[in-house]
Structures are given as structure tokens and as C-alpha cells.
Amino acid sequence: MSKGGKPPPAPDPRVVAQAQTQQNRDTAGYNAQLNRIDTYSPLGSQTFSQTGIDPATGAPITRQDISLDPQVEQTFRQGMALDQRFGDAAGGRLSQIEGMQPFSLSGMPGRSDLNSIRGNAQDALYNRNTAFLDPKFKQDEAALRSRMAGQGIVEGSEAYTNAMGDFNRGKEFSYGQARDSAIAGGGAEADRAFSMDEQLRNNMISEQLLGRSVPMQELQQLRGMQQPAQLPQFQGPGQVGTNPADITGAMGQQYQGQMDAYNARQNSNNAWLATLGTLGSAALMMSDERVKEDISPVGELNDGTNVYLFRYKGDETPQIGVMAQEVEKKDPEAVKEIGGIKHVDYARTLARALRAA
């Protein structure tokens, strides 16, 4: 039934956001300006200047200018010209590489006919060996026959047959060795021809690869020699800055403080309203201001009637209630005088305040 006032309005999020954004922008601009320190040295200078305002964000548009000492600038331009020459030379090598045909073995010499080489070598070696064996065994056979004739061993006899068998087996063994030797020699000759072919092809492949790699190596060397000209480095200022004020937090704390005060008033009003509620059942109560002291207002009813904290004279007990003189002005029928002291009909007074709610 009390008029404890309205709660404080919550902060408008848009207003808070705009205020915080503006504070952040102001702080950022301030910090940026702190770090834009013009620098001057024997190498040249670097300076900052504001050229305008960004229409989209409102942020300042800043320009940085670097001016070199004339002699330093001349050295820098000479380095750039040298780099350009290295770049042109590297471009020439690159064009040469791009014009190369894909690597191919089509121009390599064909491989030798190893079977023919092996067969020819075998025939040559066998013929050489038999050219020695043929006359030797012819002479040995004639000598054997003459010897057996002198000994009276006639052809067709057992002794003759055995002797000629031994001779022929020895002859066949020697020709077999000659044949084996020729086969081994033919294989060795074929292996030698194969190795020579491989060596020749490897040499030709190496020459082709070398011819292709030289331009690439030269390109890499030229690129390594090409060092981009470097501008002199100016030492930047130390980074300093300030933190933006926490507008959002401050407004939130202010709102919370207002809510705390509002809640405290509400709790207080609720407390004395409960007390007044108990008085409403007591019919007439002595409420003349002349019998009260230590009077202080603590709130008001919904119809505007003030509520006070007080003590009756001669009594130390704190009391809560209205003043009969004030109630009488609003509702004379709610005040009765008994023994010269004004009394208030609390039931009537509280009912009127309830109707005004």
C-alpha cells in the first residue's frame, strides 16, 4: 500500500554501447598519436601527418613519409639497378631452360648384337686352338701306327684296337678342352662388348644432363647474387598506451547501486507497512502529534498520507504511525478526540489508502 517509488530505469544498451565505443575510439586515437613520433637521423627521416577522416568509421587517416639522405638514396638506387641486371640475366637463363626439349634417350647409340659377338669369338678361338691341335694329333697318330707296326702289332688285333682307342680318347679330350675354352672366351668377349656399350651410353647421358643442368645452376647462382636493395631501417618509438575507461562497467555499477537503494527502500516500506497492518485491526489509536516526540518521516501511504517513526512522550519504545492532524485534513471522519487527545481510525485510514492504490 506504500508509495515506495519506481525502480530505476535499466541503462539503455544502445546508449551504453555507443558511449563505450566512443571511449574506445578516443583511447585508440590517443594511443596511436602517442606512438607516432617523428624520427630524424643521418640516414634520413620518417614523419607522420593526418590527411583526413575516414567517412565510414570517423577514424583519422594518417600518412607516414620516409625521406632518405641524398647520398643514402643514391646508394639505394644503385643497388636496385644492380639487382635489375642480375634479374635480367636470370631471365635469360630461364628462357634457355624453357626452350629445352624434354629429356629423351632416343638419340642414344643402339646396343651391340651380343649373340653374334659371342658366336664369332667362340668360332675364332676354337679355330685357333684346332689349328694347333690338328697337325699335332696327325703326327702323333702316324708315329703311333709306325711304332705298333715295328712291334708287330697288326691292325685289327686287340692290342692295336686298345692303343688306337686310348689315342682317340686323348684326342677327343683335347678338342673338348679347346671347345670349352672357346665358349668361355666368347662369353667374356660378349661381356666386354656389353660393358663398352653401357659406358658409352652413360657418358652420353651424363653429357646431356650436364648440358641441361648448367643453365639451371647458373640461374640459381644469379638468383643468389640478386639481393633486393634494403631501405635503411628507422628505429620505431617505444609502444605506449592507456586503457579505455570501462564505461559499461561504471554504468552497470551505478544501476546496481540504484537498484540496491530502491530495494532497501522497498524492504523498509514493507516492514513498516506490516506494522501499520497490525494497527488496522485496533480501531482507534492515539495519534495526536502533541503526545509524540523524536518524529521522523519514513514513507507515505498510496493516498499521500505520511508515515512517521516516533516515540510517545515518556515512553522509549519506537512506534510507527500517522499524524492525526494530517489525517484529519484528508478525512475528518477518521479522527476522533478522546479526553482532548486526537485518535485515528486506522482501519478507515488504511482502507482509503488501499482504494487509492
Q: Classify 211 as helix, strand or coil.
A: helix
Q: Classify 41 as helix, strand or coil.
A: strand
* Closest by Cα among 341, 340, 332 to 349: 332
pLDDT at residue 179 in the model: 92
Q: How would residue 269 be classed by pLDDT, with cut points 50, 70 and 90?
A: low
Q: Give percent of the chain above pLDDT 70.
A: 79
pLDDT per position as a tens digit, 109-132: 767 888 988 889 889 888 998 898
Q: How would residue 356 be classed by pLDDT, with cut points 50, 70 and 90?
A: confident
Q: How would residue 1 be classed by pLDDT, with cut points 50, 70 and 90?
A: very low
Among the three residues 210, 225, 240, which one is the final residue of a domain in this structure?
225
Residue 186: inside a domain = yes
Same domain, 262 and 351: yes
Same domain, 218 and 286: no
* Residue 319 bridge partners (DSSP): 310
* Residue 214 bridge partners (DSSP): none
Ranges 19-23, 100-104, 347-351: which has the least confidence: 100-104
Residue 250: inside a domain = no
Same domain, 221 and 267: no
pLDDT higher than threshold 80 for residue 267: no
Same domain, 261 and 219: no
Same domain, 213 and 311: no
More confident residue, 318 or 88: 318
Same domain, 118 and 221: yes
Q: How would residue 268 be classed by pLDDT, with cut points 50, 70 and 90?
A: low
pLDDT at residue 2 in the model: 44
Ranges 57-61, 227-231, 313-317, 320-324: which has the least confidence: 227-231
DSSP assigned state of 289: G
Among the three residues 185, 210, 225, which one is the final residue of a domain in this structure?
225
Residue 108: inside a domain = no
Q: Give percent of the chain above pLDDT 90.
A: 21
pLDDT higher than threshold 60 for residue 34: yes
pLDDT at residue 33 in the model: 77
Same domain, 267 and 335: yes
Q: What is the mean pLDDT of residues 336-347?
A: 91
Give the phi and the psi of residue 283 in degrees, each rounded to 5: 55, -125
Q: Which residues contact 244 (CB under 8 A, 6 or more apart)?
A: 20, 23, 24, 26, 27, 28
Residue 350: inside a domain = yes
Residue 11: inside a domain = no
Per the structure, the count of domains in the chain is 2
More confident residue, 89 or 5: 89
Ranges 43-52, 252-261, 299-308, 341-350: which has the least confidence: 252-261
pLDDT higher than threshold 70 for residue 235: no
Which among 45-59, 259-273, 297-311 has the top mean pLDDT?
297-311
Same domain, 199 and 267: no
Among the three residues 225, 247, 275, which one is the final residue of a domain in this structure?
225
Same domain, 275 and 216: no
DSSP assigned state of 280: T
Residue 319: inside a domain = yes
Concatenated DSSP letters of 18-34: HHHHHHHHHHHHHHHHH
Same domain, 207 and 125: yes
pLDDT at residue 74 in the model: 82
Residue type present at position 52 = G
Same domain, 120 and 185: yes
Residue 236: inside a domain = no
User: Contact at 8 Å (CB) between 45 and 299?
Assistant: no
User: Contact at 8 Å (CB) between 77 and 227?
Assistant: no
Q: How would residue 335 be classed by pLDDT, with cut points 50, 70 and 90?
A: very high
Q: What is the mean pLDDT of residues 306-327?
A: 92
Same domain, 150 and 200: yes
Domain that holds residue 350: 257-355
More confident residue, 159 or 259: 159
Residue 261: inside a domain = yes
Q: Are strands 318-321 and 306-312 parallel, antiparallel or unpaired?
A: antiparallel
